[in-house]
Chains A and B, each alone.
Chain A
Amino acid sequence: MRFKILLILLAMATCAAAQKKYTVSGYITDQKSSETLISATIYDEVSKTGAITNVFGFYSLTLPEGRHTLKYHYVGYVVQTREIDLKENTTINIALTDDNEIGEIVVTAQKDEAGITSTKMGSIDVPARIVEHTPAILGETDVMRTVQLMPGVQQGSLGTSSIYVRGGGGDENLILLDGSPIYKVDHLFGFFSVFTPEAIKKVTFYKSSFPARYNGRVSSVIDVRTKDGDMQDFKQSFSIGLLTSRFTIEGPIKKDKTSFSLSGRTTYLSLLTTPVMSLIKIDGEKINFGYWFYDLNAKVNHKFSDKDRLYVSFYRGVDKLWMRDKYEYKDSDYDKSKNDEKYYLRWGNLLTTTRWNHVFSPRLFSNATLSFNKYKMAIGDRYKEDRTSTFYDYQLGTREVRSWKSDYESEYNSSIVDLGIADDFDFMPGDKHDLKFGFNYIHHIFDPETSHTKIKNTNTEDATDTLMTHPGAKKINAEELSLYVEDDWKVLDNLHINPGFAYTLFAVGGKTYSNFQPRFSIKYTAAKDVSFKASYTRMSQCVHLLTSTPISLPTDLWVPITKDIKPEIANQYSIGAYYTGLKMWELSVEGYYKQLDNVLEYKDGMSFMGFSADWQKLVSMGKGTSKGIEFMAQKNTGKATGWISYTLSKSDRDFDEYSQVNNGDPFPFTYDRRHNIAIVYNQKFNDRIDLDVTWNYFSGAHATISLSKEQIVLPESRTVRHSDWNPDKYEYTYTTTTNNTDYVDYVDNRNNYTLPASHLMCVGVNFHKQKKRCERIFNISVYNVYNAKNPNLCFSESDGERLKLRKITILPIIPSFTFTYKF
């Protein structure tokens, strides 16, 4: 069946190409920096057809021979018009001018009609300026926090940057950095994402009709594209905030040919928290620990010609949490030592991607990609001792003073390495078709657990110098191949369809899973400003994240499916209506129904506790359903921009009676929040001041709470002899108890408690000052302006007679400021 579809598509494409038409193609760039513009539009006023630039800024528009009036536009830029007499294939590269040059940000002549023109639904473009203008915790703007404000997106634990899209799990989001999947997307246990705002060019978020080239996760795709680097001039910006400092440098290596972009971010959280930490004690001991992270993005792009471009991008991000204890021990003159103990947790991503864009013809564009992606986590321990002891031999009556040094190192590692190769083609055979096809192959190497121990001891009697390496769970190799094709087909002037499919193979442990994933979207334009869409999407997922806490931990492990655990499948049906009749506004309503098959849950009483061996025995496969309706009113142009969205949704899980999950009874998904309202308001008063406000309300998530105790039986009787020191008799007194029962929390149903709703407002004000050689921006942000005491975490505790439920609010009102200098 799938081959028939392909043949039909190709036949139609060939027929279209056979007509006497010519193609206008080229790149659309920013005039100042030569940075390519993604999703810029080209529109022919004569034939009333248009095209849009791809993620590399390339467009292709096939038109009949003759005169045409082409309009090039991009939000926030001055529209350019070209009159052409088309007699042959023509390359037109366009450099658009930022409309700040003409001092006004009002684009009324040409509306940004992304909601109408796109055949797909549930896809939202998030330009970098929107990310920059979303206030967040401690002044740290964040892609994920912006995405959290989109309809259909639920955040996990309040304050974290985790996202749950249309009832999907936290590990069901494909997050791409310049086209490569990134496994660990957050810092500080989920409070910040790894994306440095200054490095971002554009973010595209998909939640229903996924383009066929995206595969591997079932709930959403977040495609983050970074800046290529200014081809004309050097630019620098430096920001100093409460939590982090950031820099960006970009410029030409050779004008109009080669450019680079370099950005970095690091935190000084430890410096700020050290005074507070010194007051905290665990088990009566002071803890001396610190935390830092950094991100480094680098990119070089070289333009060989109008037909060939090369991009090399690099990302490195590392988090480290450590504890250190340095102390001297002196029992007497006979025994003394200097000790240095250090424990650490370190985790991070390394991504390198090389992409080659080649324009085979005005109608065929190719992007070939080679990628290397590594995520590694390490838990380590180092202990050093410099010791002097006096030994006394009672038999011989001799003393000996002995000194020695000990050095003990141990590290536990977990890593994933992906080696990928892909080629994506855009083929635009005529004005009615836009074909995309290609392949993506990834060789995964999962290395869930390995530990190394090194012991050195110079004590003559016990001298050791040992290195031990223990591979824990076996290293797992997996091969993933996906082939895809899709066509954006203009059937009639007011009817567009987008049929496509992806075919994926995933081979692991001697078993190969194949999945055919059809995708279909249809758009009907009923009137000038009214359109309707519908879509069906099937997605599959072959990797899962093992985790047991609601916050992101570095010890969470990604593992591939096994011969017993099948790929997770999502079938999603969506319909939507869109209206753009109100000046500068886009109104939309979308409804969806999503079925999840082979969704995983831990069996009752099972949990992931740091190692992955036999993990498949701890989980069961079941079903999940999610349905909802999303309203959004968005204003993208003008001095005041933003959006209002409301989501009504329901999501639950259902496992059969043999699954040992919740006795086979259905239960609500943890982040099944019934209502979600988001308001984002950005106001540019003048060139010097702008204001950003967000307000968010969402119903409470679900938690599993115990309100009573039940008895359990132990396989062995436990005899415990308690010792109590009796200072009068100067001896211990002992009491012995023997029992083979105990009692634990009784839980009738999973997620049996609905937490209270949360709401919060965040405000940010930017003060711009243009100086002679630079621009200074001073940002003041306030997170949770009216100090709403939202439940970030909750737990139950007993006061001896009754159980109480308590909430912890860890994010009260938090003011912050950031200075930015742009040169």
Chain B
Amino acid sequence: MKNLHIIILACIVATLAACTEDLPIDAAPTTGILCLNGYLYSDCDTNLLYVTTTGVSSPKNVKDATVRMFVNGTLAEEKTQSDSTTGGYYHLKTKFHPGDVVRIEADYNGLHAYREATVPDVPKDLHFSVTPIKSKSFYDQEYEEYVHYDMYRIDISFTDISSGSNYYRLYTNYDKYKIDNQDHRERIIDTVYYDGIPYEEWRDSVYYSRDTIHYYTNDSYYDDMNEDLYIGEAAPLTDEEMSADNDFMDGLYNYYNVFNNSRFAGGKCELKIYQQAGFGSRYSSSGDGFPPEEVTVYSDDPTPPEYYYTQYVGIESIDEQGYYYIKSLNGYESGAYSNDELTGSVKMWRNVEGGSGNIIFASRAMEKVVVLDGYTPKVKIVERRDEARY
């Protein structure tokens, strides 16, 4: 969408010759507003609460706020000093549980802010499995060629915690690495380019689902789309598909994998998500992305590489306030709230009373599956003069 805005604005400006000037600001900057932020898990040893105030160009950390935590009406913890030397965050050591009513409050410079909520239940019956999927070739718009893009499919199921309105977030993470014959451990990550600048990025759950589905064009494509309806919240298409990979507009991307139970209330939720295989050459027409079945090694060092892959999946139940907050974060991460000339600033979702910020209570069910545990391909031994490849 931002690109569309830029084009439209450029079109108008070029047509009508614009000029820009400063405007008088008749409102004082809203600094010094007490902000509490935290993503707090039930049954967790340590949770972090961030205490800051609003600032003109950036928020200011608060070192000496008084932070109190009440569980079911009883004061469970009180802190008067930040656990960071630069201020900002406070460790909350009190464990709370699903169903508890938790109140977090803070006082600073005469300001008082708080959030009170009931901690949601833990999602039930979480199961998942991982299946390798070989894809047909597809046309990669970014690299402008047909490539293979093989996947691991992750099938996830869990049971809704009740038939009422419930809200969830999918969390996935993996540990994939290769140990070569020099005993070097190489973590498998993907390279991301932003604005033409290459840098590598990984987030705990970046490799999943809808953006990868786009590239996955085998025969079962439609089924997979349908089965992915929950997490897409019936968003028709992925970002790329919706905009037909063009430069006119971007969609709202479910960056933090948040979804509600409107399509499976009280029942079982089944998700299928996809992750790049990530072990092979992406651009080779012969590379399939999975660990190779056979590698060629030198006769003087015939040790084959070992491949390891552990997949983690978590489903977090979050309260309604957390759900909408994360949806607004999706808008922020998707560039929807860019304070550009057309959209202006957007008032973010907030659930802290008396100040600003968001405190989200979450309960997570977590599982892991070891997919490859030191997998070793067959070896083809060649003499040193030959080219050895793996």
Contacts and interface: CB of A to CB of B under 8 A. Distances in A.
Interface of A: 189, 191, 269, 272-273, 276-277, 280, 282-284, 287, 289, 291, 321, 323, 339, 343, 345, 379-381, 383, 385, 394-395, 406, 408, 410-412, 448-451, 453, 455, 457, 459, 461-462, 464, 466, 468, 470-473, 548-551, 553, 555, 603-607, 609-611, 613-614, 617-618, 660, 662-663, 703-723, 732, 734, 740-741, 743-750, 752-756, 789, 791-796, 798, 800-812, 814
Contacts of A273: 11, 14-15
A276 B11 CA distance: 9
B223 interface: no
Given A610-B252, A712-B329, A449 B236 contact: yes
A287 B236 CA distance: 29
A111 B58 CA distance: 66
Contacts of A603: 324, 349
B326 A609 contact: no
B328 A323 contact: no
Nearest to B17: A812
B30 A708 contact: yes
B256 A715 contact: yes
A712 B37 contact: yes
B332 interface: yes
Contact of A408 (B5, B16, B139): B139
A593 B94 CA distance: 55
B163 interface: no
Contacts of A712: 37, 329, 332, 348, 357-358
B348 A744 contact: yes
Given A406-B146, A451-B242, A744 B332 contact: yes
Interface string B247-266: 11111100010001010000
Contacts, number: 381
A794 B23 contact: yes
A471 B356 CA distance: 40
Given A462-B285, A708-B31, A716-B205, 16 more contacts: A287-B10, A321-B248, A323-B7, A343-B244, A412-B241, A455-B217, A603-B349, A606-B328, A610-B1, A610-B242, A611-B237, A711-B50, A715-B326, A741-B37, A749-B347, A803-B57
A189 B5 CA distance: 11
A796 B29 CA distance: 12
A706 B340 CA distance: 12
B247 A611 contact: no
B122 to A, nearest CB: 17
B344 A722 contact: no
A674 to B, nearest CB: 15
B246 interface: yes
B234 A704 contact: no
A613 B234 contact: yes
6 contacts: A273-B11, A379-B249, A468-B221, A609-B252, A808-B20, A810-B18
Contacts of B334: 609
A618 B58 CA distance: 28
Interface string B15-47: 111111111111111110101011100000000
A809 B25 contact: no
Contact of A412 (B169, B237, B329): B237
A604 B350 contact: yes
B244 A451 contact: yes
B344 A705 contact: yes
A381 B139 contact: no
B241 A470 contact: yes
Interface string B319-355: 0000011111101101011011111111111100000
B11 A291 contact: yes
Contacts of A749: 347
Contact of A385 (B7, B12, B144): B144
B348 A471 contact: no
A794 B24 CA distance: 12
B1 A609 contact: yes
B39 A740 contact: yes
A709 B349 contact: no
The 6 closest A-B pairs by CB, nearest first: A472-B236, A605-B328, A609-B252, A605-B349, A410-B244, A713-B37
A611 B248 contact: no
Contacts of B243: 379, 381, 412, 610
Given A379-B243, A550-B342, A605-B324, A708 B4 contact: no
A489 to B, nearest CB: 50
Interface residues of B, number: 117
Contacts of A808: 13, 18-20, 341
A802 B56 contact: yes
A744 B335 CA distance: 12
B282 interface: no
B59 A711 contact: yes
Contact of B139 (A394, A450, A457): A457
Given A712-B329, A744-B337, A705 B345 contact: yes
Given A470-B236, A605-B346, A610-B1, A803 B29 contact: yes
Given A453-B241, A611-B242, A802 B1 contact: no
Interface of B: 1, 3-8, 10-31, 33, 35, 37-39, 50, 52, 54-59, 88, 136-139, 141, 144, 146, 169, 171, 195-205, 217, 221-222, 225, 232-237, 241-252, 256, 260, 262, 285, 324-329, 331-332, 334, 336-337, 339-350, 356-358, 360, 387
A276 B237 contact: no
B201 A721 contact: yes
A453 B11 CA distance: 28
Contacts of A705: 25, 27, 344-345
A663 to B, nearest CB: 8
A711 B62 CA distance: 12
Contact of B233 (A610, A613, A711): A613
Given A189-B12, A607-B252, A607-B336, A803 B56 contact: yes
Nearest to A750: B347
A794 B340 CA distance: 9
Contacts of A282: 3, 6-7, 10
Given A283-B195, A549-B343, A606-B324, A611 B236 contact: yes
A609 B237 contact: no
B343 to A, nearest CB: 6
B21 A807 contact: yes
Given A280-B14, A660-B324, A743-B59, A473 B236 contact: yes
B54 A746 contact: yes
Contacts of A323: 7, 246-248
Given A606-B328, A711-B52, A719-B203, A548 B245 contact: no
Given A273-B11, A551-B342, A716 B171 contact: yes
Given A606-B327, A614-B234, A795-B344, A805 B25 contact: yes
Contacts of A411: 244
Given A473-B236, A555-B4, A804 B13 contact: no
Given A189-B12, A741-B37, A795 B340 contact: yes
A162 to B, nearest CB: 14
B331 A606 contact: yes
Contact of B16 (A450, A707, A814): A814
Contact of A604 (B19, B35, B39, B349): B349
A518 B35 CA distance: 49
A560 B258 CA distance: 26
A711 B37 contact: yes
Contacts of B38: 713
Nearest to B6: A282
A163 to B, nearest CB: 19
A280 B10 contact: yes
A410 B141 CA distance: 12
Determine which residue in B15, B33, B260 has the highest number of CB atoms from chain A within 10 A of its CB, and name it.
Answer: B15
Nearest to A410: B244
A379 B59 contact: no
Contact of A269 (B15, B222, B327, B331): B15
A793 B24 CA distance: 14
